[in-house]
Chain A
Amino acid sequence: MTPFTYERAGSPAEAAAAAARTPGARFIAGGTNLLDLMKLQIETPAHLIDVNGLALDTIEATKDGGLRIGALVRNTALAADRRVRRDYALLSRALLAGASGQLRNKATTAGNLLQRTRCPYFYDTVQPCNKRRPGSGCAAIGGVSRQLAIIGTSEACIATHPSDMAVALRALDASVETVQADGAPRRIPLAEFHRLPGDTPHIETVLEPGELITAVRLPKPVGGRHIYRKVRDRASYAFALVSIGAILHEDGSGQVALGGVAHKPWRVEAAEAELPRGAKAAAEQILAGARPSRDNAFKITLVERTLAAVLAEARG
């Protein structure tokens, strides 16, 4: 961890401006991902802007019947919110399936969205990694890749986005609210928020330098059965091999997003028309064009079988 200066920001606009102004500045919220990476010198900010004092820790009803979740609402608080539990159970379930109680008590809504990959080679700083050091190569391709992505990958990177929460938000058609360095607010649909690796795996979202997330917005509840199914080797405190976040309606229609398969929460809206035809048909379309490695080809079967279980649970 290299030395850094530290300030507590007073307002969102001020924080964004300070971040844009100060070279090498980063926001710190829960710190559970940023500090982890700073200890390994994967992240080396010269200046930390502590955003915990910004009053962005409330969940409010919006005019259109949805919810506006402050960027600093802790994962525990979000999962426990009565409205979320009632109307967006998928989100509660996804949050509760992630990390541990201690981590969720610190982790924030914004930080969770922006957490970086758990690719083991990304974490091992002497290994080539295009995400960590652009142009250095990708040690994971041809290496140990059981956990890594099967779809939307590139020649440069096959990492996954590890967030459970983001999978739920994707299925829920959430959007992200920000303020940019010049103080201008912006709203980004979650579908467009995370990027695929392409040639620039080190650029993970569409955020501009200094852009501060202020909230995540949920549209008004759509009802249906909310199911989050996370498949992992150990029963808790583990990242997903594959996860499925689904909202399923009586008529067989639904929204489905996948975790553990791609560089972002994976959702193919067009494939959702196949849901009434069953898991096999839908999974085939959702994963059309998948290019798994030998280590993670099982994820294709796993997605299909897990989706089948999710559909059965929704029916039952």
Chain B
Amino acid sequence: MQKLVPSSLSRRDLLAASTASLTGAVLAQAEDASPEETAHADAGTAMRPPIRAQVSFTVNDRPRELDLDTRTTLLDALREHLHLTGTKKGCDHGQCGACTVLVGGVRINSCLTLAVMHQGDAIITIEGLGTPENMHRMQTAFVKHDGYQCGYCTPGQICSAVAVIGEIEAGIPSHVTPDLTGTPELVAEEIRERMSGNICRCGAYSNIVDAITEVAGSRA
């Protein structure tokens, strides 16, 4: 899989990403599974005790080992098990982007991925980008440009923004890139299209684009 590396993340952040473990084995055996795949939950499967599995990955450089119900999403692992609540749950269905985190430097929606699928991964959340005392410059730019209102979409916007700059620099095209064989430019239109998976109902878009543009510009 292609790794998109936002250059503001250190190499160290990304090291573990390529070592996705192959230790995978059958972690538990189905005892009484339902043959009808599309049917409603039948009591048989639903009554099964939770099936647990171990997974280890790093979050913001810190190694974490978790013993989880296999059903736990990466988002819930972060929020409910590691108490890293900076990553938000807006919809739990991939429809808003509030849960955006960086896995191996690549931005994804953490609500639509299982924690157990991240064995060996390096995960960066908003808490890993910066702290109130030591903010990442994307965070500083969001404050300066008032790129938020209620703040709920904000961690997702910021994680996405950091990745978007990396994606453009890596030459990944977007829907609005005029020439597919050329190199995409760091312009507002590109930023808007690429940020469109992060909904801000407060409507801070115009300011968010200003913040990203400032950070992107200062890198050039």
Interface residues of A (CB under 8 A from B): 1-8, 22-26, 28, 30-32, 35-36, 39, 41-48, 50, 52-53, 57, 72-74, 76-77, 79-80, 85-86, 89, 92-93, 96-97, 99-103, 105-106, 125, 132-133, 202, 235-237
Contacts and interface: CB of A to CB of B under 8 A. Distances in A.
Interface residues of B, number: 67
Contacts of B150: none
B33 interface: yes
B217 to A, nearest CB: 20
A50 B113 contact: no
A85 B180 contact: yes
Contact of B108 (A53, A102, A132, A236): A102
Given A50-B24, A80-B173, A100-B197, A39 B92 contact: yes
A77 B1 contact: yes
Of the listed residues A31, A52, A96, A100, the one surrounded by the most CB atoms of chain B closer than 10 A to its CB is: A100
B118 to A, nearest CB: 10
A106 B108 contact: yes
A72 B113 CA distance: 15
Contact of B37 (A7, A26, A99, A105): A26
Given A26-B37, A89-B180, A103 B2 contact: no
Contacts of A57: 1
B30 A24 contact: yes
Contacts, number: 188
A76 to B, nearest CB: 6
B45 A2 contact: yes
Given A24-B45, A99-B197, A5 B28 contact: yes
B39 A76 contact: no
B204 interface: no
A106 B173 contact: no
29 contacts: A3-B46, A3-B70, A4-B30, A4-B70, A5-B26, A7-B26, A24-B33, A24-B34, A24-B36, A28-B114, A35-B112, A36-B112, A44-B42, A50-B117, A53-B20, A76-B172, A80-B171, A80-B172, A86-B180, A96-B175, A101-B174, A102-B108, A102-B109, A105-B107, A235-B193, A236-B175, A236-B193, A237-B196, A237-B199
Given A2-B46, A44-B40, A92-B180, A105 B106 contact: yes
